[in-house]
Amino acid sequence: MKQYFDASETRSADARAADLMRALPAQIARALAAPGLAAHLGAVEAAAITSAAALSRLPVLRKSDLGAAQKARPPFGGLATHPAHGFEHIFQSPGPIYEPGRTSTDWWRMGRFLHACGVGPGDIVQNCFGYHLTPAGMIFESGARAVGAAVLPAGTGQTELQVRAAADVGCTVYAGTPDFLKVILDRADEMGERLAFTRAAVGGGALFPSLRRAYVERGIATLQCYATADLGNIAYESPAQEGLIIDEGVIVEIVRPGTGDPVPEGEVGEVVVTTLNPDYPLIRFATGDLSAVLPGQSPCGRTNMRIKGWMGRADQTTKIKGMFVRPEQVAALVARHPEVHRARVVASREGEMDAMTLQIETEARDATRYEVSVLETLKLRGKIVLVAPGSLPNDGKVIEDTRRYD
């Protein structure tokens, strides 16, 4: 297998800047041709946006902007360069937010990450990302096709069937959230099955060092990527495991949260991404995630900028078990029950697994009455704790993340 996915990974800084000078004005022009983005960007001359510095003067596009635009111009808010029927797939993410998808040319650019993981012809990828409504399953499947690997479209849950399939088919690569692999491996031990996984390509949650070490002890080399439904792959680890390397199909800025102002190198700020995808030209899209730029280049020889990885959320939205939980969802839960005063989601860890506790201020005594509402609004199961009215801190928080990322 060749060392790099393509020559763009090892470009010099001057060559990358020259390529950007050509690509960026064309992408801004596409964005201005999309009515939703044109209204957001305002009076912008595409030919003048030829560098990251020029790009940083444009307004930031936020998730809430997508929601408002999609309500006004369904389904994509006038942000895509094709009508809905011009795409092979339409996905729904929590919000709801609708994203387009294509089945050709590794549309989400996940092949680069899987190549860095050492995945290629002869491998069978057990893809444990969801295929239901959200695009994660298709994102990783398209990446596997790009590197010539076969795919077992396993999806989420059904652990015993996952073990049976992995053993029978001889899957060599796991793709999914970091902690679900441990669930599969533990069940395989209970069933007396020896699985053939030697690599794991993970995303959708934090890869804690202790969990990575546990996989290495079982002979499974594990690397992580940072991707979103809207943007595809943003950054990825290489075997050097020294930060996440920015994908060649995006431009990443780190800005002061709540603004669009870039911060100095090394300072923690919000990740803002401009994609060069011609079909869905999101410009300065604020992810709500925190990270920081690492100095220098990766020892693996890839020359693009690196970031430290996911360092928390710039807002209260957080990711639990691979799913975003947003303040609006907590508010929707409270609104369903007149007897509930306030509620707070607490994200924590139980061993190597994400856990969610929902604290509900109410005079009610039966926590089971809220189980259906929790699942329907938050899309997750968790422990429900009823507390007396007035007992939650008066700090404005509805989501608290107690997990450590160091």
Query: Does a cis peptide bond (omega within 30 degrees of 0) precede residue 75?
Result: yes
pLDDT surpassing 90 at residue 186: yes
This prediction's pTM: 0.80
198: closest CA among 178, 224, 172?
172
For 386-399, what is the mean pLDDT? 85
- Pure H helices in 92-158: 111-116, 136-146
Tell me the pLDDT tens digit for each residue of 195-207: 999 999 999 988 9
pLDDT surpassing 70 at residue 238: yes
For 257-271, what is the mean pLDDT? 86
Considering only residues 312 and 367, tell me which one the structure prediction assigns the higher pLDDT: 367
For 14-28, what is the mean pLDDT? 95
Structure tokens of 137?
């399953």
Considering only residues 353 and 311, tell me which one the structure prediction assigns the higher pLDDT: 353
Considering only residues 200 and 390, tell me which one the structure prediction assigns the higher pLDDT: 200
**What count of residues does the chain have?**
406
Q: Rounded to an integer, what distance in angstroms lies between the CA atom of residue 70 and that of residue 99?
A: 10
Structure tokens of 236?
């990825």
- Furthest CA-CA distance within the chain: 65
Give the per-residue pLDDT at 109: 97
- Pure H helices in 170-306: 180-191, 209-217
Q: Rounded to an integer, what distance in angstroms lies between the CA atom of residue 31 and that of residue 34?
A: 5
For 253-282, what is the mean pLDDT? 90
Tell me the pLDDT tens digit for each residue of 288-332: 888 999 999 999 999 999 999 888 777 778 899 988 898 779 989
Give the per-residue pLDDT at 311: 82
Please provide the distance, in angstroms rounded to a whole number, between the alpha carbons at the two ends of the chain: 33
Give the per-residue pLDDT at 317: 83
Q: What share of the chain is helix, strand, coil (3-state, %, to 5)?
A: 30, 25, 45
For 167-186, what is the mean pLDDT? 97
Contact between 243 and 298 (Cβ < 8 Å): yes
Give the per-residue pLDDT at 396: 63
Q: Rounded to an integer, what distance in angstroms lies between the CA atom of residue 342 and that of residue 334?
A: 7
Rg from Cα positions in the chain = 22
Contact between 108 and 190 (Cβ < 8 Å): no
pLDDT bin (cut points 50, 70, 90) of residue 256 is: confident
Mapped onto helix, strand or coil, the DSSP state of residue 309 is coil
Give the per-residue pLDDT at 163: 98
Q: Rounded to an integer, what distance in angstroms lies between the CA atom of residue 75 and that of residue 321?
A: 27
> 């990825």: which residue's tokens?
236
Q: Which residues contact 13 (CB under 8 A, 6 or more apart)?
A: 303
Q: Rounded to an integer, what distance in angstroms lies between the CA atom of residue 266 and that of residue 69?
A: 34
